[in-house]
Amino acid sequence: MISTEFKSVVNGQEVKLKLKEETLDIERKCDTEYHLAYTELMQKGILPKATLEKYMQEKKIWTEDDEKKLKDLQGQMVRLNLDLDASETFDKGIMIAQSMGELRGQCLRLVEVKANVLSNSCESLSDQIRRDAYLAHATVYADTGKPVFKDYNDFLRRAGENEQVILDARKIMLDVLSEAFNASLTGLPEVDYVRKVEKKMMADAAIEKDKEPTPKKVVKKAAKAKE
């Protein structure tokens, strides 16, 4: 697990900081910034997710056929997952895991365009504001727990001045998100199966290696034979 403690520069001094876990109070403040951002983005003409999805269908960017194909691929993965659980040999299981990986790749490629469009929705952009609001309220001095920023507006002001503490806090947040993403990948059924197979193969190889004769084992065996 990635540590949320980090060193940065505040008011010209290097200090130890950390990101607090999201408390109910921090959650409430972040949600407030999210809703404010959502309203402001709507007023600026940024479209919500539902409207963008409808727009994509009208412009044939994402069609009913695409949706049907995606559901079909997902259905195939569900069936293969059941087969993976019931596989009786590692060889068969590996083949099923490989097929699942290929199908998952097809799903990702299929929804890539859709995901790119939806990344500009009110929801997605407001989520980015919410993450910054979390940094504003959760970044504290590691030794005292005192907040680094007075409030979200103070965070924005200092972000506009490119203060090092902002850059460092965002990097820690990115590391945490990356770790969570990587953990979600390793938790996929096909990936987890392959890891278990690799672990079993390494254990078997270690056992076989332990059985191999060595000069010490030969001498010990000969000594026992004489007894």
DSSP alpha helices (H): ranges in the chain? 24-43, 49-58, 64-86, 90-118, 122-138, 152-160, 164-186, 189-211, 215-226
- Asked if residues 76 and 176 have their Cβ atoms less than 8 Å apart, the reply is no
Rounded CA-CA distance 212/218 in Å is: 10
- Asked if residues 169 and 19 have their Cβ atoms less than 8 Å apart, the reply is yes
pLDDT for the residue numbered 76: 97
Question: What is the percentage of the chain residues whose pLDDT exceeds 70?
Answer: 91
160-200 pLDDT, tens per residue? Answer: 999 999 999 999 999 999 998 888 888 899 999 988 888 87
Residue 222 has pLDDT above 60, yes or no: no
Rounded CA-CA distance 22/10 in Å is: 22
How far from 20 is each of 3, 135, 166, 171, 183, CA to CA, in Å? 11, 9, 15, 15, 21
More confident residue, 100 or 220: 100
148-160 pLDDT, tens per residue? Answer: 999 999 999 999 9
pLDDT for the residue numbered 2: 66
Q: How many residues appear in the chain?
A: 227
- Asked if residues 14 and 8 have their Cβ atoms less than 8 Å apart, the reply is yes
Domain boundaries in the chain? 5-226
Q: By C-alpha distance, which of 178, 161, 177, 175 is closest to 9?
A: 161
Q: By C-alpha distance, which of 156, 60, 171, 56 is closest to 114?
A: 56
Residue 1 has pLDDT above 60, yes or no: no
pLDDT for the residue numbered 7: 96
pLDDT confidence bin for 36, thresholds 50/70/90: very high
For the segment 38-54, the average pLDDT, to the nearest whole number, is 96
- Asked if residues 46 and 125 have their Cβ atoms less than 8 Å apart, the reply is yes
Strands 13-19 vs 139-141: parallel, antiparallel or unpaired: antiparallel
Residue 203 has pLDDT above 60, yes or no: yes
DSSP reduced 3-state for 21: coil
- Asked if residues 26 and 181 have their Cβ atoms less than 8 Å apart, the reply is no
More confident residue, 161 or 215: 161
pLDDT confidence bin for 25, thresholds 50/70/90: very high
Residue 201 φ/ψ region, left for φ over 0, alpha for ψ in the -120 to 50 degree band, beta for the rest: alpha
79-93 pLDDT, tens per residue? Answer: 999 999 999 888 899
